[in-house]
Amino acid sequence: MQISSKELILLIAIITFIFLIAPLFLIIYIFLYNKKKAKHLEEKESLKKTFELELLKSQIEVQEHILQTIAGDLHDNIGQLLSLTSMTLSSIKADHLRDEKINTAAELTHRAIKELRQLSKKMNGQELIKKSLGHAIAYELDWLKKGLTYEIEFNDNTTHSIPAHADKELIMFRLFQEILSNILRHAQATLITITIDQTKDYLSLFVQDNGKGFTPEEKIKAADGLGLANLQKRTLMMNGNFVVKSSPGTGTGIHISIPYS
């Protein structure tokens, strides 16, 4: 059976079409597969970030619970003992020579009670944050001013607290405490400037000191990196921005910005 020229041309056309269309289908398949794979990786990364964020919140909650328990024990137990000591000293009837020493002891006990109450309040971050982040930072700085010779400048540009995102305010407060602790331990500074800003979508913290400074890249990678890597990690887990500007002899500036949503 002979194949006519028309049938041969048609057959060649069909074979050619198949050979042309097959790579197209293959390209489409590869494209869809890569797109699906990319979406899967994106979802996996999103789940990982969500898990890390929830883990961070859980760690903060546990930390706050422990601090609240310690603060309560300090206030209820040691505070009660100091109050009882103060009452006992006040009730002692002594001669004129010993009376001055007893009054001094009573005064020191009153001061200890006051300091203990302030320490308990300082440890209870959630109570401080209830008013505002600015209030919590101001309270922390008041505590700092009492014992050390630092010049402190605090600029609170926030307008209101954000109850719906109180957890982020609390995390920002703990980040501030860690930055401040690093300055006190390592910076050898005399001036500390703190600024907090609030926009529609972001909460920002800027801390600047006039200390000895360092090379940020080296410190973040180093094992003794002043907690910078930890600060950076926790900020990034909140989808925030973390920037350190420093160099030896010029002080250090740290800027943290965390979104509300």
Residue-range domains of the chain with CATH: 17-123 (no CATH), 132-261 (3.30.565.10)
Amino acid at 102: I
pLDDT tens sequence across 90-140: 666 555 445 666 666 666 666 666 666 666 666 556 666 777 888 889 888
In 130-250, the DSSP E strands lie at 151-157, 191-198, 202-209, 241-246
Whether the pLDDT of residue 75 is over 60: the answer is no
Tens digits of residue pLDDT in 168-193: 888 888 899 889 888 888 888 999 99
Q: What pTM, to 2 d.p., does this model score?
A: 0.58
Give me the residue label for tokens 């601090």.
67
The DSSP 8-state label assigned to residue 146 in this structure reads H
Burial class for 257, CB neighbours closer than 10 Å (0-12, 13-18, 19+): buried
Structure tokens at 131: 């008013």
